[in-house]
Amino acid sequence: MPHTFDLRLATLRAAYREGRATPRRLIAELRDRAAALNPDYHLFIHLLTPAELEPYLAALDGRSPDELPLYGIPFAIKDNIDLAGIPTTAACPAFAYVPEASASLVQRLVELGAVPLGKTNLDQFATGLNGTRSPYGECRNSVLPDYPSGGSSAGSSLAVALGVASFALGTDTAGSGRVPAALNNLVGLKPSKGLLSNHGLVPACRTLDCISYFTATAAEASELLALTARHDPRDAYSRANPAWNDGSAFGTPRPFRFGVPRAQDLEFFGCTQGPALFARAIEQLRGIGGTPLEVDFSPFLEAARLLYEGPWVAERYSVAGELIERDPNAVLPVIRAVLEKAPGASAVQLFRAQYRLQELKAHCDAIMAELDCMLTPTIGRPVPLAELHAEPVLRNAELGYYTNFMNLLDYAALALPSAFMANGLPWGLTLFGRVFSDQYLLGLGDALQRASELPLVGGNTLAGPAPKAPARNDHARLVVCGAHLDGLALNGQLRQRGARLLQATHSAPAYRLYALAGGPPLRPGMLRVAEGGVAIEVEVWELPSAELGSFLTGIPAPLGLGKVELADGSWETGFICDAWGLAGAEDISACGGWRAWLASRG
C-alpha cells in the first residue's frame, strides 16, 4: 500500500511559518509512525524516547524557521554515526558504546535546527549493499516486500521513503548511499571524499568513507550539502570545499557532455528491462541538453574489483578484527566470510594494489577530463530476498558493479530515481563526476527530476520554478576576442591550462573594438559603449577554475576580466579594456573582429 506524506524541507517550513504545525506535534506524530512501521521494516535500531527528544525540541522554543534554516526538520542517523548519549552499535551489539558527543556533522545539523528521530539499521559494520545483514532484522523494500531495501544504509533510506524523516544520514564507501536510494525512489548523494566530516563515524574503510544524504529531491540534497560542507580539523581526512562547489553552483544545466559505458561494459545480470531503462535514461539526459559520448569503462570496473578482491578488505578488518578474534560469534557469519582473508594481506600486496590503482586513476581521470559527468545504472538488477538468502556474497557483489570504484577513484556521485519497473519497483541511474563537482551533479539531478515528472516518495510531484542561475562545475567560461583566439599568438596560454573551445560566436551589438598601441604582440581592446556599438567576433573557452587565477594575474594593463554580454543575451566572464588604455589606439570595429582586422593588414 503506498505511503502518502510530504516532509520536504520547503513543505515543513511553510507549515511552521503558517502555524499549521509545530516541531513538538510533528515529531511526536512521526515517532508514533516509526514505532508502528518498525516491526515490519526494522528501520530503527534505536528510536529516541520522548525524554531523549526533549532537549532537541526545547532548543527550538522561542526560535523560528527564519532564524534556523533546518528548524524542526526531522532526520534519521545511520547507527554507525554518533549521537550523544545514544548507543552506537554498527549493528553489532557486542561492539556497542555510548558516545559522550555527537559526530561533527550531526552536531552541525542540530545547531541548524534539525531534530534527530533515531538511529537506523544497517548491514553490520556497513559491510553489505542489501540491508539483510543485521541482527536487528532484515530491512525490506519500501515498495515491494519480496525485495530488500538495499544497504548498507538500509534503515536510513527507509526512514525517508516511508515518511518518518525529511532526510537521513547514511554512509557510502562502496555504494551504501546509492543502492538503497535506487531501490526506494530516493536521491542519494555520495559527496566528494572529505566534504562532510567523518568525525564521530565508525569507519568501514577510513581512507574511503563518506557520510551521505538521502532526500526526496536533488534540490534538498543541494541545500543540505551547502549548509554542512566545511573543513573539520577533528577529521584528518576532511577537505575544504572549493568556492566553485558552494551552494551557488547548483543551477540549471547548460549544454553538457556525458559519458556512457560501451555496450560490452554494461551488465544487467539477466534483467530484461535494464537495457531499455538505461537507454531511456540516456534520452532523459539528452532532453536536458546532454550529448552522450561512449567511453571505455573497463578501467573503472577494474578499480572496482580492487575494493573487495584486493588488500583494501584489510582496512575493514582493522575495525572489526579484534572483536572477531576475541569473540567470532559476535559478528555475523556472512561478515566474517567477507573479512576472513584480510589477515593474510601483506604490505607488499597493498603497495602493488596502490600502484595499480594509481595507474587506473590516471586513465579514468583522462576520460573524465573530457566530460562533464558520466552516466551509469545505479544497479544492474534488483535482487529478490530469496536470491540474497541463497547466494548472499555473489548477489551482493552484483549490486556493487557500478558503485565500488567511486571512492577509490575520488569522484562525486549522485543516485537518482529514473523510472519504475513493470512490477512497480523503482529503478535508478547514477551521475558521477570529478571531485568537488557535487553541486553541479545536483543541478543536473534537479533538471532530470523536473523533466521526468516521476512521482516522489510520498506521492508528491516536483513543482516550483527551476533555478535561474546556470549550473557550475570545476571549470570556468572565458570570452576572448583577440590574441587568445584559437590558433593565434597567445592561444597557447589557454591550452597549456587545459582549456577547450566551446563555441565561436559574437558579442551583443554594444561594443567597440580597438587595436591597442604598442606590441608585439598586437592586442585588441573591447569596450562596451552606450551608443554606436557593434557585434564583435568572440570565442567562448572553458578552463579549469584552479587555473583561472594564474591566467588572470598574467593579463597586462589596460586589459582585464569582466562581464561580457553575448549575442544570445547571456553574460560571461571575458576580456574587457579600461577606457584610459585607448590612447593612441585604432578603432577597428568596422572589421567585426580581430581575425578580420589581422587579415586586412595582409
For residue 137, pLDDT beyond 60: yes
Out of 78, 119, 193, 361, the active site residue is: 78
Closest to 479 measured CA to CA, from 436, 521, 515, 524: 524
pLDDT in tens, 82-98: 999 999 999 999 999 99
Examine the pLDDT at 3 and tell me if it is beyond 80.
no
**pLDDT at residue number 1:** 46
Q: What angle do CA 85, 158, 39 make, to 5 degrees?
A: 75
Same domain, 48 and 195: yes
302 is a domain residue: yes
pLDDT reported for residue 602: 74
Q: What is the pLDDT of residues 24-77, one digit of tens each?
A: 999 999 999 999 999 999 999 999 999 999 999 999 999 999 999 999 999 999
Catalytic residue chosen out of the listed positions 149, 176, 197, 238: 176
Is residue 104 annotated as a catalytic residue, yes or no? Answer: no
- Say whether 78 is catalytic: yes
293 and 212 within one domain:
yes
Same domain, 111 and 217: yes
Average pLDDT over the chain reads 96
pLDDT digit string, tens, across residues 334-388: 999 999 889 988 999 999 999 999 999 999 999 999 999 999 999 999 999 999 9
Could you read off the pLDDT of 175-216 as tens digits, one per residue?
Answer: 999 999 999 999 999 999 999 999 999 999 999 999 999 999
> Does 88 fall in a domain?
yes
The residues that bridge with 44 in the sheet, in sequence order, are: 120
- My answer on whether 419 and 560 are in the same domain is no
In 3D space, the residue among 145, 159, 131, 148 whose CA is nearest the CA of residue 183 turns out to be 148
All residues at 6 or more sequence positions from 303 whose CB lies less than 8 Å from its CB, including other chains = 357, 360, 361, 364, 404, 405, 408, 409
What pLDDT score was predicted for residue 2? Answer: 62
User: Average pLDDT of 291-311?
Assistant: 95
Instruction: Please report whether residue 4 resides in a domain.
Output: no
Q: How many domains does the chain have?
A: 2
- Write out pLDDT tens, residues 445-500: 999 999 999 999 999 999 889 999 999 999 999 999 999 999 999 999 999 999 99
Mean pLDDT along residues 305-320: 91
User: Does residue 87 belong to any structural domain of this protein?
Assistant: yes
pLDDT, position 249: 98
Identify whether residues 196 and 271 lie together within a single domain. yes
Same domain, 259 and 337: yes
Q: Which of 102, 142, 149, 152 is catalytic?
A: 152
- Closest to 160 measured CA to CA, from 252, 82, 224: 224
Q: Is residue 468 part of a domain?
A: no
In a domain, 188, yes or no: yes
- State the Cα–Cα distance between residues 345 and 347, nearest whole angstrom: 7
Q: Is 107 part of a structural domain of the chain?
A: yes
Q: What domain range is 549 assigned to?
A: 475-600
* pLDDT value of residue 308: 87
- Catalytic residue check, 248: no
Q: Is 79 part of a structural domain of the chain?
A: yes
Identify the CA nearest to 518 among candidates 585, 450, 438: 585
pLDDT at position 413, please?
Answer: 98
